[in-house]
Amino acid sequence: MAGALLGVHAGDALGATVEFSPWSAIRASYPDGPREIVGGGAFGWPPGHATDDTDLTRAVLLAYLESGDEDVVRSSARHMLDWLEGRWPGRAQGSNPRDVGRATLTGLRRFAASGDPYTSGCGQGQAGNGSLMRCIPTALAVPDRERRISESMQISGITHSDTRCTVACAAYNEMAAALLEGQPPAEAVAIGQTTAQELGSKPVADAIGYGSQLKPAMLVLTGQTFLEDDAAGYVLDSLSLAVAAVLDERPFPDVVVDIVRLGNDADTNGAIAGGLLGARDGAAAIPPRWVSLLQFEEEFHAAATVLAVRRSAA
């Protein structure tokens, strides 16, 4: 379980350096891809510091760690709002996040006004990857498939209620859960695609199918992915790249580096792919020199232990 959380964190931190950069610029600066966590980037991140991807993953994780709170959706929304309003580690009290996506900002402002996380989402037409990047704690915390799918979709819907987003989160978490249970990657991907089909989303099922045909090591040769939004923030592009990553048999760092070096929304694509790769390979597969820099490394290890104990007792 720690591998999944740290995989998100590591992919995020690695990609933060080149976020918004095109493939060509990354290739010029990093001929072999960015292979170290050095921070910087558009927002001047300290090395290993969480961006919104990891921070909001932590918000959902905190909701699952709390005991006695039966409404994990509402709890997730409250923690996300804490992040937005500056009640968060590593930031001055009341300070704004360095980066926040448009749909995330809109959804959290609506939640702050209404107190209802079930109606705060932006609705159809806003299909960014801002809920997919934070969804993996549900796969770790919930052993029951029906509940896992429901909560994946509801937590997405706090900000991203377009069905492409909600179903993408459900399918992704079914893949992650299958990997955690020891299923091989191809079987996990098939489970994710079946989930999308069961939920009636052909676009999500097709995105998983397309990702199954992509080879990250080939994509980085030209930078041409033929993805709809060129991996610049569209939820189905990020989902396709994550599928391609988890089916790639190479070690964790080689695959994550290739996902990141494609550019554009590099940190989020790295985080989403890193979560599945971490679920596949475990925490030991992530380079220790990367892990040692991660802002929430100790907290995520401790959280994974708690969730694993709970799961074994369920």
User: CB–CB of 148/140 below 8 Å?
Assistant: no
Quick count: other Cβ atoms within 10 Å of Cβ 233? 20
In angstroms, the Cα distances linking 287 to 7, 189, 278, 290 are: 10, 25, 11, 5
**258 assigned ligand-binding residue:** no
Q: Which two tokens stand for residue 118?
A: 């079930």
What are φ and ψ of residue 128, in 5° steps?
Answer: -80, 175
State how far the Cα of 268 lies from the Cα of 104, in Å rounded to an integer. Answer: 14
Q: Give the burial class of 228: count Cβ atoms within 10 A of its Cβ; 0-12 exposed, 13-18 middle, 19 or more buried.
A: middle
In angstroms, the Cα distances linking 167 to 17, 37, 47, 76, 146 are: 30, 32, 33, 18, 13
**230 assigned ligand-binding residue:** no
User: CB–CB of 76/63 below 8 Å?
Assistant: yes
DSSP 213-278: H--HHHHHHH-----TTTTSSBHHHHHHHHHHHHH--S-HHHHHHHHHTT-SSHHHHHHHHHHHHH
**254 assigned ligand-binding residue:** no
**32 assigned ligand-binding residue:** no
- The amino acid at residue 44 is G
Binding residues for Mg(2+) are: 51-53, 265, 267-268
Binding residues are: 51-53, 265, 267-268
